[in-house]
Amino acid sequence: MKLYFKYMLMLLRSEMQYRGSFLLMTFCQCLTPFVTFAGVYFMFERFGELKGWSFYEVALCFAVTQVAFSFTECFARGFDVFSSLVVSGNFDRLLVRPRSTVVQVLGSRFEFARIGRLLLSAGVLVWAASQIEASWTPLKVVALVLMVVSGVVIFTGIFILAAAISFWTVQGLEVANIFTDGGREMIQYPLNIYHKWVKRFFTFIIPFACVNYLPLLYILGRDGADHPLYALLPLIGIVFIAPCLLVWRIGVRHYRSTGS
Amino acid sequence: MITVEGISKTFLVAKREPGLKHAVKSLFHREYTAVEALQDISFLIAPGEIVGYIGPNGAGKSTTIKVMSGILVPDRGSCTIKGFTPWLDRVNYVKHIGVVFGQRSQLWWDVPVIDSFELLRDIYNVPQAEYKKTLTLLVETLDLGSIMNTPVRQLSLGQRMRCEIAASLLHSPSILFLDEPTIGLDAVSKIAVRHFIKEINKEKGVTVILTTHDMNDIEALADRILLIGKGTLLYDGSVSGLRSRFGTRRTITADYHENTKPLEIPGASLLSWTPERAIISVDTEQVMISEAITSLSSQVELLDVTIDTQPIEDIIVQMYKEYEI
């Protein structure tokens, strides 16, 4: 973990070599969620509510997802762009160092400009949380924090899984984006607005529902979800990382390197 | 200390005809050809040796290095280095080795060299005091003092290679793998790098295994060479042994008083001839040098004679031809 921060400092220093570009990127990154969020706002302006969900409730759901995703993109970017390490053969370099490949890949790349996105989403999160009609209890706050943390873990898991695929295909698969970007787009909204199989997929295959929809029901006190266990559901989401790491390990053994 | 036994590795390479039609076709159906990168390679290397690993492009040099450094898992065979099997106990094993890939950097591109070194210290968990000592020594012997605070992207290739070598030695490994360490370097840098390799081998007893295409590297450094071609080990022995086996030709350059009569020396071939000078190639397995010179002096009035052994480059080319690799 200490090493991870050392990597981070190093890459931050590299990034600062190109200060102008960094500041501009950070600013631009703010715009993306801002525009999407504005879209949500105007939609509610027009339709008032979404299957019984109010604007602030959806905004909270949206913000939790965005915070988790931009955090992951910022700090687990190494896995997102991992296929380039395989294509260039630079993964060799990581293998001859006495550290776990996971830490080293995490440390190989940070996308600091995503902090812009993160900050904006965090702003929306706080704002929506203060506006919703719910009585905040300590457990609900815990649930909210867990939702974000566990969301980061699941997104990281998907990144790792997608990265591991490139051990077999060399080129990364765009298919993986269905689950990262696609997953993010889907779970920005409460899952009960979708078809049943979508809900099932995101509950039992990729447990996004555990970190987003279900604990949100608890926080809002909706649909009879008042058992305190709902608040701890995000912990299940964390388990998702285990199979991802397993596939990663198998992939590393399968690594073939490049010529020369 | 290094035992490699019967290592084999086969790569499946997707076969693809050129052209868009075949590119699309290969998306759905691929044919693979098996390329045997290594076939039953075995050798032993003792501690403190410098071994040159040579062979033409694509012979399997890098693959062997990658197997020995734990990057690749071979299909068959065993490899034990310092009691470890590289690919099974990677994390513990790689603490003992240093690896330089000549064509690939291990330094962080945008930051000063010293920052990269310090991160490497953390990666390898080198105690501060020991790190300081090693670093001072490396900076001194590789003459890095003036470039330590320069970002890597601004270094020349020669400077960068010296930093790469220093970076791979910060954790005081006992085995150093060098994959083409002198590629693209100018003469001065080459000599500096060779000198340094020789020195750490002598001073610290570091075992060095290097691959190269520059035979001067081999001659300056290696006591022993391994020649690999098409995935099989063809020669394992000393450089002088190589000479006596393959380098049996000598070149005689003779200067003499003007003589217009063409020379004739039995068993030797005339490479060039002028009325004052002749260059003659002699195969010592057929004609003794002394016989050739006797024959020469009987035909012309000699002024000067030089005898050159065959350059090692030529011997290698001859070997490649002989083994058809």
pLDDT tens-digit readout, A15-26: 888 888 888 888
B235 and B261 both lie in a single domain:
no
CA B32 to chain centre: 31
Nearest to A97 among B73, B115, B123 (CB): B123
Structural domain includes residue B319: no
Q: What is the mean pLDDT of each run of 10 residues along chain B (325 residues)?
A: 90 72 69 84 94 87 90 91 91 93 85 92 94 93 90 90 92 92 86 90 93 86 88 87 78 86 81 87 84 87 86 78 75
B215 and B288 together in one domain: no
In this structure, are B119 and B99 located in the same domain? yes
Mean pLDDT of A81-91: 84
Range of the domain at B128: 45-243
Report for A144-153, A175-184, A188-197, A224-233: range of highest mean pLDDT:
A144-153
Distance between CA atoms of A8 and A2, rounded to whole angstroms? 10
Average pLDDT in the A126-130 region?
A: 91
Question: Which chain B residues are closer than 8 Å to A3 by Cβ?
Answer: 122-123
Residue finishing a domain among B243, B277, B296: B243
Interface of B with A (CB under 8 A): 11, 58, 62, 66, 69-73, 87, 90-92, 94-95, 97, 99, 101, 103-104, 106, 108-111, 115-116, 119, 122-125, 151
Q: CB distance A6–B109 less than 8 Å?
A: no
Q: Which residue of A has its CA nearest to B101?
A: A93
Question: Where on the phi/psi map is residue B91: left (φ > 0), alpha (ψ -120 to 50), or beta?
Answer: alpha
Mean pLDDT, rounded, for A42-66:
87
Question: Which of B223, B243, B263 is the endpoint of a domain?
Answer: B243
The percent of residues above 90 in pLDDT, for chain A, comes to 22
Taking the CA of residue B255 and the nearest CA in chain A, the distance in Å comes to: 47
In a domain, B1, yes or no: no
Distances (CA, A) of A138 to A126, A127, A211: 15, 18, 17
Same-domain check for residues B131 and B256 = no
Quick check: A260 pLDDT over 50? no
Contacts of B151 in chain A (CB under 8 A): 17
Instruction: Give CA–CA dist A48/B171, Å, rounded.
Output: 64
CB nearest A96 (choices: B70, B115, B116): B70
Give chain A positions within 8 Å (CB) of B66. 92, 257
CB A57 within 8 A of CB A223: no
In this prediction, residue B10 carries a pLDDT of 87
Asked, for residue B25, whether it belongs to a domain, the answer is no
Whether B110 and A17 lie within 8 Å, measured CB to CB: yes
- Mean pLDDT over residues A67-91, rounded? 88
What is the rounded average pLDDT of the residues A17-43?
85
B150 and B85, same structural domain?
A: yes
Q: Is residue B110 part of a domain?
A: yes
pLDDT computed for residue B123 by the predictor: 93
Do residue B112 and residue B147 come from a single domain?
Answer: yes
Cβ–Cβ gap A95/B95 under 8 Å: no
CA distance A139 to A158: 28
User: CA of A259 to nearest chain B CA: how many angstroms apart?
Assistant: 8
pLDDT number for residue B246: 73
Average pLDDT score over residue span A232-258: 86
CB atoms A95 and B109 under 8 Å: no
The span from the CA of B88 to the CA of A246, in Å, is: 16
Q: Which residues of A touch B11 (CB under 8 A)?
A: 256
Same-domain status, B145 and B231: yes
In Å, how far is A189's CA from the nearest CA of chain B? 36
Residues of A in contact with B108 (CB under 8 A): 10-11, 14
Cα B90 from Cα B92, distance rounded (Å): 6
Cβ-based contacts of B119 with chain A (< 8 Å): 6-7, 10
Residue where a domain stops, chosen among B222, B243, B264: B243
Verify that B66 and B97 share a domain, yes or no.
yes
Angle at A58 between CA A56 and CA A64, to 5 degrees: 100
Chain A to chain B, count of Cβ pairs less than 8 Å apart? 70
CATH number at residue B282: 3.30.70.250
A97: chain B residues, CB-CB within 8 Å: 94, 123-124
Of B94, B101, B115, the CB nearest to A98: B94
**Closest-approach residue (CA) in chain B for A2:** B122
Tokens for A193?
A: 């607005």
Beta-carbon separation of A10 and B115 below 8 A: yes
- Determine, for residues A99 and B91 on separate chains, whether the beta-carbon distance falls below 8 Å: yes
Give the mean model confidence (pLDDT) for residues A131-140: 85
Whether B181 is in a domain gets the answer: yes
Residues B131 and B261 occupy one common structural domain: no
- pLDDT tens figures, A169-206: 766 566 777 777 888 888 888 888 888 888 888 888 88
Q: Please tell me which residue of chain A has the smallest CA distance to B10.
A: A256
For residue B124, being part of any structural domain is answered with: yes
Q: Do B94 and A17 touch (CB under 8 A)?
A: no
- Flag if A95 and B71 touch (Cβ within 8 Å): yes
Minimum Cα–Cα distance from B100: chain A residue:
A93
What phi and psi, each to the nearest 5 degrees, are found at residue A173? -100, 130
Closest by Cα among B108, B118, B164 to A17: B108
Mutation test of the interface with chain A: which of B35, B57, B101, B150, choosing the one with the most A Cβ atoms within 10 A? B101
Q: Do B70 and A95 touch (CB under 8 A)?
A: yes
Structure tokens, B13: 């390479």
Note whether residue B297 is domain-resident: yes
Q: Give the domain CATH number at B89.
A: 3.40.50.300
Q: Please indicate, yes or no, whether residues B281 and B299 belong to a single structural domain of this protein.
A: yes
Do B106 and B239 reside in the same domain of the chain? yes
Can you read off the two tokens belonging to residue B246? Answer: 């393959």
Q: A14 and B91 in contact by Cβ < 8 A?
A: no
Q: How many domains does chain B have?
A: 2
Cβ separation A89–B104 shorter than 8 A: yes
Is the CB of residue B41 less than 8 Å from the CB of residue B104? Answer: no
Residues 6 or more apart in contact with residue B45 via CB below 8 angstroms: B1, B2, B51, B207, B209
Task: Compare CB distances from A6 to B58, B119, B151 and report the shortest one's residue.
Answer: B119
CA distance A31 to A28: 5
DSSP string, B108-152: -TTSBHHHHHHHHHHHHT--HHHHHHHHHHHHHHTT-GGGTTSBG
Query: Is there a domain that residue B26 lies in?
Result: no
Give me the DSSP letters along B194-209: HHHHHHHHHHH--EEE
- Whether A98 sits inside 8 A of B70 (CB atoms) is no
Query: Are A92 and B151 within 8 A, CB to CB?
Result: no
Interchain pair B123, A90: CB under 8 A:
no
Q: Is B260 found in the same domain as B225?
A: no
Min Cα separation B53/chain A (Å) = 14
CB A98 within 8 A of CB B97: no
Nearest CA in chain A to B125: A98
